[in-house]
Amino acid sequence: MPDKRVIGVLTDIGTEELGHEEMVSTIITQLTKNLTMKEIEESGFYQYYVDHTIGIWPQAASGTPFSTATLQSTGDAIADLHEDLAAEQKARLTYDNILRLCKDEPDVYDAIKFLRAREMVHYQRFGESLRLIQDDLDSKNFYAFNAGFDKKATCL
């Protein structure tokens, strides 16, 4: 990132996101630690159980394991911040869906509601960061080149 203020925002949000992973992992541990084999079989949790017992293994609800291949980075500040904005919206949507499923579990509901609220704040911070980067661009050359890479654009 070409702007130190944006670097700070990214560091803060990245650190907070690691905390979110810890919170979600803790919720999952608390919900699964006392499952019986009958509950595991009846819930459909048995496929996960076969591979991981009740250990935390980050994966999508579809069963697709987390991979860093899902993280997008181009080196272009504008493109990367748009990707961050999209990721926050998708995370918010996921939390919305979880909230619909856990209405009867107030401890889970409250924690997920908190995480959802933080995703919305992150979205706002990424939007502010995008504006900072855009405001520093020469408006005549907006999107014509990667300002972080092409120091002297030959297309001008």
pLDDT digits (tens, 9 = 90+) for 103-145: 999 999 999 999 999 999 999 999 999 999 988 876 655 555 6
Q: What is the mean pLDDT of residues 62-86?
A: 88
Structural domains of the chain, ranges and CATH numbers in brackets: 4-56+73-136 (1.20.1260.10)
Task: Determine what percent of the chain is predicted with pLDDT higher than 90.
Answer: 59
For all residues of the chain together, what is the average pLDDT? 88
Q: What is the mean pLDDT of residues 39-61?
A: 88
Q: What is the mean pLDDT of residues 52-80?
A: 86
Residue 59's DSSP bridge partners are 65
**Between residues 71 and 82, which one has the greater pLDDT?**
82
Task: Determine what percent of the chain is predicted with pLDDT higher than 70.
Answer: 88
Q: How confident is the model at residue 70 (pLDDT cuts 50, 70, 90)?
A: confident
Q: Is the pTM of this model over 0.85?
A: no
**CB neighbour class for 146 (10 Å; exposed up to 12, middle 13-18, buried from 19):** middle
